[in-house]
Amino acid sequence: MRNVSLSNISRRFVKEDGTHMVALDDVSLEIDDAEFVCFLGPSGCGKTTLLRIISGLDQPDEGAVFLHNEKITGPGPKRGMVFQEYSLFPWKSVMENVIFGPLMSGMKKKDALKEAEIYLELVGLEQFKDSFPHELSGGMKQRVAIARALANEPEVLLMDEPFGALDAQTRNVLQGELLQIWEKKRITVLFVTHSVDEAVFLADRIVMMSSRPGKIKTIIDVNIPRPRGRTSLDVNVLRDEILQILSEDKEK
């Protein structure tokens, strides 16, 4: 079943000098329920803009986004977002961060706390529920951000370079954990990354974008069974293919 449908999305911004720049030009894409899609492309090709539009934080100038045939007109709990920069409330404890969304959408505190326990356990942080963000490592903060997004029970998880600021080892661990959560919850994940390795490890499909104007250049099906090795032959062949496509962009 089609979950997210991007229909001819264009987004322009007015620059300081008054001229327009086209951040996204006629982007269309159909995403299935429980699909894991990675967006890969050079800086400035419109990946964040696209996620913001899908989340409802920004509006396209042309086109529309549909979630199960319902047009998205603003933010909603069905779409959870995890950003690159740790976006936790620094003055709230881990638990208070996680229950914030459910409380805002009217859940009773007792129920929200019970739910939050489950999500904190899922990301392995049940011991840290009373800690504050400054007491956590970068990887732990991102785990809290994931638990917080999941606590709203989203149908779609939007992740904008969520592991970009982490060291390589922590990043690998979190990729594995995210796949486990995804397999358990069967939610749709739209994941922006600059890393070819990350995209090949995670995605069902990789949407490769090009810039000026931001467009979908090509879509790659990753037909490699999971669990995927990071250096297996089929993984390396695909990485080479993608790096080749990326280098074509640079040569232009």
Ligand X SMILES: Nc1ncnc2c1ncn2[C@@H]1O[C@H](COP(=O)(O)OP(=O)(O)OP(=O)(O)O)[C@@H](O)[C@H]1O
Q: Does 23 bind ligand X (CB under 6 A)?
A: yes
Q: Which residue has the tokens 């492309």?
A: 41
- Binding residues for Mg ion restricted to 42-61, rule: CB under 5 A: 48
Q: Does 48 bind ligand X (CB under 6 A)?
A: yes
Task: Tell me which amino acid residue 176 is.
Answer: G
Q: Which of 9, 29, 47, 156 binds ligand X (CB under 6 A)?
A: 47
Give the nearer residue to ligand X in terms of CB position, either 84 or 152. 84
- Binding residues for ligand X restricted to 210-249, rule: CB under 6 A: 214
Give the nearer residue to ligand X in terms of CB position, either 43 or 223. 43
Is residue 3 within 8 A of residue 33, CB to CB? The reply is: yes
Is residue 93 within 8 A of residue 140, CB to CB? The reply is: no
Give the nearer residue to ligand X in terms of CB position, either 41 or 101. 41
In whole angstroms, the minimum distance from the beta carbon of 36 to ligand X comes to: 19
Give the nearer residue to ligand X in terms of CB position, either 40 or 99. 40
Q: Which residues make Cβ contacts (< 8 Å) with residue 233, sequence separation at least 6? A: none
Q: Which of 9, 29, 37, 45 binds ligand X (CB under 6 A)?
A: 45
101 binds, among ligand X, Mg ion, none (CB under 5 to 8 A by kind): none
Give the nearer residue to Mg ion in terms of CB position, either 47 or 79. 47
Nearest of 194, 156, 161 to residue 36 by alpha carbon = 156
Q: How far apart are CA 136 and CA 147, in angstroms?
A: 14
- Binding residues for ligand X restricted to 178-217, rule: CB under 6 A: 214
- Binding residues for ligand X restricted to 59-88, rule: CB under 6 A: none
Q: How far apart are CA 106 and CA 109, in angstroms?
A: 9
DSSP annotation of 35 reads: -
In whole angstroms, the minimum distance from the beta carbon of 245 to ligand X comes to: 16
Is residue 201 within 8 A of residue 209, CB to CB? The reply is: no
Q: How far apart are CA 117 and CA 124, in angstroms?
A: 10
Q: Which of 19, 43, 69, 247 binds ligand X (CB under 6 A)?
A: 43
In whole angstroms, the minimum distance from the beta carbon of 60 to ligand X comes to: 12
Would you tell me how many other CB atoms lie within 10 Å of the CB of residue 158? 24
Q: Which of 8, 13, 70, 104 binds ligand X (CB under 6 A)?
A: 13
Q: Which of 44, 75, 176, 229 binds ligand X (CB under 6 A)?
A: 44
In whole angstroms, the minimum distance from the beta carbon of 115 to ligand X comes to: 32
Q: Which residue has the tokens 């879509």?
A: 219
Would you tell me how many other CB atoms lie within 10 Å of the CB of residue 61? 13
Query: Is residue 130 packed enough to be buried (19+ CB in 10 Å), middle (13-18) or exposed (0-12)?
Result: exposed
Which residues contribute to the site for ligand X (CB under 6 A)?
13, 21, 23, 43-49, 214
Which residues contribute to the site for Mg ion (CB under 5 A)?
48
